[in-house]
Amino acid sequence: MSVDPLNELNEAELATKLLHCCGSRAWVESMLRSRPYSTLDDLIAKAAAADASLTRTDWLGAFAAHPEIGTKSKGISKWEAQEQKGAVDANASTLDLLAQGNQQYKSKFGYIYIVCATGKSADEMLHILQRRLAHTADEELPIAAAEQSKITRIRLNKLVQEYSSNSRL
């Protein structure tokens, strides 16, 4: 898969695409400064470097761009719907427990519960949420940031795949 189509986008277009991968404006700015990308591996490495430069406030900005796990919001993107498929298919009891856990998490940590939901069932996400509620704020932020990084990598791969597919048309 080629990253050339991403390099060919103007800055505003690429910024919009990157914001779908990670909602932190500081992360997007770092990614824009690191162009051009030579390969997918180079893009992923530059994303990791951008992650390493983020502050707590930057991470909170990234987290705020996500819908809560298990919510059936009309405004979620195609990627978010795919990522949260396991939660959408859950029974009402599990969704209620996720909603309660989301509220407890947000009250305790000040931001929404972030988990890389791809491939996880609602029960698995609920179990992870319950386990993470036992953390201190200092323990939890790096865990949430690592989950955001996983989500970002998946989305960057999807972005490159979409542009590679479109460039062959």
Distant-in-sequence, close-in-space partners of 13: CB < 8 Å, separation ≥ 6:
none
Is position 20 annotated as part of the catalytic site?
A: no
Separation CA 127–CA 116 (nearest Å)? 13
Choosing from 20, 66, 127, 135, which is the catalytic residue? 66
28 touches 16 (CB < 8 A) = no
Ranges 12-16, 29-33, 120-124: which has the least confidence: 120-124
Distant-in-sequence, close-in-space partners of 43: CB < 8 Å, separation ≥ 6:
3, 6, 37, 156, 160
Q: So what's the pLDDT on residue 60? A: 98
Q: Is the pLDDT of residue 104 over 80?
A: yes
Q: Is the pLDDT of residue 86 over 60?
A: no
Q: So what's the pLDDT on residue 163? A: 84
32 touches 16 (CB < 8 A) = no
**Counted domains in the chain:** 1
Q: Who wins on pLDDT, 76 or 132? A: 132
Range 137-150 average pLDDT: 98
Per the structure, the complete domain to which residue 98 belongs is given by 4-167
DSSP collapsed to 3 states, 58-104: HHHHHHHCCCCCCCCCCCCCHHHHHHCHHHHCCCHHHHHHHHHHHHH
Question: What is the torsion angle, in degrees rounded to the nearest 10, for the CA atoms of residue 32, residue 36, residue 38 and residue 43?
Answer: 0
CATH classification at residue 48: 1.10.3330.10
Confidence of residue 48 (pLDDT cuts 50, 70, 90): very high
Q: Is the pLDDT of residue 72 over 90?
A: no
Confidence of residue 78 (pLDDT cuts 50, 70, 90): low
Range 39-47 average pLDDT: 98
33 touches 53 (CB < 8 A) = no
Taking CA atoms, 68 is separated from 33, 42, 53, 89, 119, in Å, by 31, 31, 25, 15, 17
